[in-house]
Amino acid sequence: MFEIKSNICRKPLSMIPLNQSPGAPVRSFAFIFKKVMILLLVKVLSFWAFTVNAQELSSPLVYKNKQPFAIVAGGSKGIGYAIAEALAKRKYNLVLIARTGQPLRNAKKLLEEKYAVQVEILSADLTDDSVAPRLARWSEQNNLPLKMLCNVAGMGGTNDFLKLPADSVRYMIQLNLESPVIMVQYFLPLLEKNKPSYILNVSSMAGFSPIPVKNIYSASKSALTFFSYSLRYQLKKKGVSVSCLTPGPVYTKPEIVKDTKEKLGWFGDFMEVPPARVGEFAIKKTLKGKMIIVPGKPARFTSNIIRALPRRWAASIYNALGKEN
């Protein structure tokens, strides 16, 4: 008996299962090819989306003055804008990054008109893995005189672990911790080149203690604070100073005001510091090489107590404050 082979599957026909036709491998190949093409298309579209946003950055960059630059990640609103304004007052040119384009354009217009500085903007999601390396490449190609990197972007709110879906929890960790760490890694060579230079990471008083009602937020901010502490010593001899801003209540959104008043009452109002004062204080202390920066005397006093308490006690107190009526 002669063995008949198929040119398609290269197996004896007698070895092909009854429920499989000789053309099945071809269909499998077509299915895999289709999947690969879809993945490639997604990558191309992602690259195109970034490129469209990146067009907001001038390339090649034409310098309008000889002042140094600062990058403010999350610099279009709230504490980020206040930090950008404090830098602009000191004649720093700026690169502002945020997700939404219109607030960025508004910030650019206000800062350029009021302080006569150069402001470049990039609308991008900082959790996108491609943003930091491409922005770093643009900075290196344009020989950006970068003197300060400010990692301000973050995610908090009244909902946290047990109330958020897994993708939101992951996003919070990426934005609050992964993004600033990766930004530092990519921009460190440029900061060393332009030393003395500065890194300002924006954490929170929430990072000083476990907070059950803000579990992931406090954990991610604590990790950022610890990262900043260690990084300060790693870079001590490299001419790069590291600071960490850890503010108490800052009323940047209505929901923050509501939540603070519900949880802390009059004491929350007592500790609250306006965003403009936070930004000014943060830059003033960063330029002086301060490590932990807590704006406002009441907040500084409270943060010292929190840090002195055993973590079990602090977590228990926060748990009692965070319980819903």
When pLDDT is cut at 50, 70 and 90, the band that residue 99 belongs to is very high
pLDDT given for residue 163 in this prediction: 85
Whether 219 has a pLDDT exceeding 80, the answer reads yes
The pLDDT score that the predictor gives to residue 284 is 98
Q: What is the chain's Cα-based Rg?
A: 25
- Residue 155 pLDDT > 90: no
pLDDT at 26 over 60: no
Specify which residues 150 forms β-bridges with.
Answer: 72, 200
Average pLDDT over residues 240-266: 79
3-state secondary structure the chain: CCCCECCCCCCEHHHCCCCCCCCHHHHHHHHHHHHHHHHHHHHHHHHHHHHHHHCCCCCCCCCCCCCCEEEEECCCCHHHHHHHHHHHHCCCEEEEEECCHHHHHHHHHHHHHHHCCCEEEEECCCCCCCHHHHHHHHHHHCCCCEEEEEECCCCCCCCCCCCCCHHHHHHHHHHHHHHHHHHHHHHHHHHHHCCCEEEEEECCHHHHCCCHHHHHHHHHHHHHHHHHHHHHHHCHHHCEEEEEECCCCCCCCHHHHHHHHHHHCHHHHHHCCCHHHHHHHHHHHHHCCCCEECCCHHHHHHHHHHHHCCHHHHHHHHHHHHCCC
pLDDT of residue 10: 46
Where does the pLDDT of residue 97 fall: very low under 50, low under 70, confident under 90, or very high at 90 and above? Answer: very high
Mean pLDDT (the chain) is 85
pLDDT at 77 over 70: yes
Average pLDDT over residues 75-91: 97
- CA–CA distances in Å: residue 223 to residues 123, 207, 228, 241, 308: 26, 8, 9, 19, 18
pTM assigned to the model: 0.80
For this structure, is 171 an active site residue?
no
Average pLDDT for 268-280: 85
Query: How would you label 36-48 residue by residue, b for 16+ Cβ within 10 Å and e otherwise?
Result: eeeeeeeeeeeee
- State the average pLDDT over residues 100-116: 96
3-7, 95-99, 122-126: which range is least confident on average?
A: 3-7
Catalytic annotation, pick one of 186, 217, 229, 318: 217
Is pLDDT of 61 > 80? yes
pLDDT attached to residue 160? 82
Tell me what pLDDT residue 36 has.
62
At 248 the pLDDT is 87
pLDDT score at 12: 46
Band of pLDDT at residue 107, cut at 50, 70 and 90: very high
Q: How confident is the model at residue 40 (pLDDT cuts 50, 70, 90)?
A: low
